[in-house]
Chain A
Amino acid sequence: MEWWNAGPVALMINTLVALSSQLFGSFGLTIIILTIIIRACMYPLTAKQLRSSRAMQGLQPRVAELQKKYAKDKQKLAEEQMKLYKESGVSPAGCAVPMLIQFPIWIALYQSIIRVLAVTPEDLLGLSRLLWSWPVVYSVLPLNSQFLWFNMVSPNPGVAVLVGVTMWLSQKMVTPSVSDPQQKAQSQMMLWMMPLLFGFIAMSLPSGLALYWITSNIISMVMQYFVIGGWGSLARGGASGRELRGRIVQAEAATPEAAGADIVDSSSTPKEGVDEGEYGVKRQLRGGGHKASLKSIRRDSGRGKSHRS
């Protein structure tokens, strides 16, 4: 991993330190600004990932139908699913690939922050090996670790809680409202598990790293707001109760062929404009149940295909 430390990590470390010298030596401010810059540079990838995952969510009712229809024939099910994705112009890899591309950048930033914080003498000594001969880099270190009310070198319970809260809000925005009890339990568990896990980890890590997570979560929320065109599930927090059940009943009545299948709450995609930029259309779903959603997806995917051709 010598190339990794000498390349991406060293680049990130020297950028962090140089940027810090321009920001009054405040490492806290530096973490926030660099996280914003990096996330802004990666916006096209993030947006693509969000759009793909939204499109995948939109297809879930049809996927559920197929799963029920071909429950006993796995090969046929796989073929039909691929066919559905192809027809709809949606690629399952569209969610994963942008995330995979961004992942090394996140890791490099994460490691750089830990190294620049240089908690122990070994860390500080090790940091010197990764510094480039930029005039400002050497003299500005070690950086001021005090930021707002906390010291970024040591864990801080308040900051750890903020990690959990911002992560929960960010996740809640993109968590689809589903009616299927199993899926619902699953998504609820993920909604709570990740923030709790990261909050717990933040309790034992330098709070400088927690500051990066908080900033990153807030940026994610802002990006999600613009990509999905609103606050997503956060805005309809109360719609998951009686209103949701009412919609499900309506949807089932309107689509007898889909009765018994997993039904995606129409409000999970519809009210906001879903910018299908990668397909060249701006889709405005207005709810009205499962059938309407499917029609809309088919129509949009058709447009997408013609646009690409």
Chain B
Amino acid sequence: MQIRRNRKRWGKVWLLVALLIIAGVVLCGCYGSQPKGWSGATAADGRLFVGSLDGRLVGVNTSDGSPLWLDKEAGTLGTSGSNVAIYGSPAVEGELVYLAGYNGKVYAFVSESGALRWIYPREGNLNPIAASVVVSQGKVYFGCSDGSIYALDAATGDKLWSFETGSKVWSTPTADGDTLYIGSFDKKLYALNTGDGSKRWEFEAGGAIVSPPLVYENAVYFGSFDRYFYAVDAASGSLRWRSEVMGGKWFWAKPVIYNDAIYASNLDGKVYILDAASGREVAGAVDLGNPASSAPVLVGDKVVLATEEGDVYALDTAGYQKGLPIIDVREESGDIPKSTSRRIYAPLSADNGVVYIKAQTASEGVLYAVDVARQETLWSRSLVISEGD
């Protein structure tokens, strides 16, 4: 009898402990999300490169989406099966494709085969890299969560210089001539000399800067977490204007410019159309109905935008009408089944009138090629490459 009572008591205690563990795991698992990544696609010379959700550089032909390589080890970031999150889009120059991982490493792969050419740093890791690398004039530039901006030799991966900001850098830099522009969480936009990393000037906005800057006719345009959009002089860093209109939420993505009008999407689901010279609204903001965190792209005279929910619009720059979606990535397309959980976070890219869209569920990335003029999906494919491909 006594033994049975003891067993009951101990059973209750262990049940309580088990419940506590489960509650802890559930609470931790649900609200501290694991980094998944949202790498976009980059087209060059008939090839398209994109980072997949399983931590690989995937290369496909732009004509039909067929893979450039089938070797499972090719294009892999980190060790096989480690699933490194990739937030940046690949950068292509010459025969190499450059890509940064959230594991704090930058990789250079051979575009033909996906073979690894170099890796930086060779030993250990930097802090997470949450943006794209940029290649210009033989140098690779990127910002890092350790608050620094790095320049590497594009051919060898050797470090050339670094510049320290006051906080994390999650913005993609923009290189223009011998100047590199990049924003930081410390609310500042920096202009650096690409030769030695020395600071030319800095401009302080009212909030953190994640949006990659756009350089156009001696001005640098960028949005900030203070919900304003800014234009500063590219040479001196002095303020040209701050938008009169304030976004409903953060400016997150890189804007595009067409006919002296800036198209800046905001996380409030609207696209603000501002005059590049004055910052005044050219037209009322276009409401997409859902947040747009992916960067828009210019195709002809259309600004192609995607909402997180999966609708892609070709905004008419004459009448500023968004029209109907040119594609809804939640719907079935070719071999890709319908999925209501498919989202678009990655920047869009375009080449020869075709826009490339990377959509993703929690576990699988899907690539779409859409002819904007004809509003026709040319092909779509999963980024999980199998031998059957």
Interface flag for B107 (CB, 8 Å): no
Contact between chains at B6 and A182 (CB < 8 Å):
yes
In the complex, what residues of A have CB within 8 A of residue B318's CB?
none
Interface flag for B334 (CB, 8 Å): no
Contact between chains at B9 and A186 (CB < 8 Å):
yes
Partner of B35, one of A107, A122, A129, A206: A122
Partner of A133, one of B17, B225, B248: B248
Residues of B within 8 A of A (CB): 1, 6, 9-10, 13, 16-17, 20-21, 24, 27-28, 31-36, 38, 85, 87, 102, 130, 167-168, 170, 185, 206-208, 224-227, 248-250, 252, 267, 291, 293, 345
Interface flag for A125 (CB, 8 Å): yes
Complex Cα spacing A206 to B33, Å: 12
Ordered by A's residue number, 23 sampled pairs between the chains whose C-beta atoms are within 8 Å are: A110-B31, A115-B31, A119-B33, A120-B33, A120-B35, A121-B35, A122-B36, A123-B33, A126-B33, A128-B249, A128-B250, A128-B267, A128-B291, A129-B267, A141-B208, A141-B225, A186-B9, A189-B13, A197-B17, A197-B21, A197-B24, A205-B32, A206-B32
Known contacts A142-B208, A182-B9; is-contact A125 B252 (Cβ 8 Å): yes
Complex Cα spacing A110 to B32, Å: 11
Known contacts A121-B130, A138-B249; is-contact A201 B28 (Cβ 8 Å): yes
Contact between chains at B20 and A197 (CB < 8 Å):
yes
In the complex, what residues of A have CB within 8 A of residue B24's CB?
197-198, 201
Main secondary structure of the interface of A (DSSP, over half): helix
Main secondary structure of the interface of B (DSSP, over half): loop
Known contacts A139-B225, A141-B208, A142-B185; is-contact A186 B35 (Cβ 8 Å): no
In the complex, what residues of B have CB within 8 A of residue A77's CB?
none
Complex Cα spacing A124 to B35, Å: 11
In chain A, residues 140-158, which have Cβ atoms closer than 8 Å to a Cβ of chain B?
140-142, 144
Residue of A nearest to B208 (CB): A142
In the complex, what residues of B have CB within 8 A of residue A139's CB?
206-207, 224-227
CB proximity of A18 to chain B, nearest CB, Å? 15
Interface flag for A23 (CB, 8 Å): no
Residues of A within 8 A of B (CB): 71, 107, 110-111, 114-115, 119-126, 128-129, 131, 133, 138-142, 144, 182, 186, 189-190, 193-194, 197-198, 201, 204-206
CB proximity of A92 to chain B, nearest CB, Å? 15
Residue of B nearest to A131 (CB): B249
Contact between chains at A129 and B291 (CB < 8 Å):
yes
Complex Cα spacing A131 to B226, Å: 13
Residue of A nearest to B228 (CB): A139
Complex Cα spacing A194 to B17, Å: 8
Known contacts A128-B267, A142-B185, A182-B9; is-contact A122 B33 (Cβ 8 Å): yes
In the complex, what residues of B have CB within 8 A of residue A124's CB?
170
Partner of B225, one of A107, A138, A206: A138
Contact between chains at B17 and A114 (CB < 8 Å):
no
Residue of A nearest to B250 (CB): A128
CB proximity of B266 to chain A, nearest CB, Å? 10
Residue of B nearest to A193 (CB): B17
Complex Cα spacing A193 to B249, Å: 44
Complex Cα spacing A124 to B211, Å: 13
**Known A139-B227, A201-B28; further 5 A-B contacts with Cβ < 8 A:** A123-B32, A128-B249, A138-B227, A139-B226, A205-B28
Residue of B nearest to A112 (CB): B31
In the complex, what residues of A have CB within 8 A of residue B31's CB?
110-111, 114-115
CB proximity of B143 to chain A, nearest CB, Å? 13
Known contacts A121-B130, A129-B291, A190-B13; is-contact A138 B250 (Cβ 8 Å): yes
Complex Cα spacing A239 to B87, Å: 60
* 3 closest residue pairs by CB, A with B: A139-B207, A139-B226, A120-B35
Complex Cα spacing A5 to B279, Å: 35
In the complex, what residues of B have CB within 8 A of residue A201's CB?
24, 28
Most-contacted residue by chain A among B27, B32, B293 (CB, 10 A)? B32
In the complex, what residues of B have CB within 8 A of residue A121's CB?
35, 38, 87, 130, 170
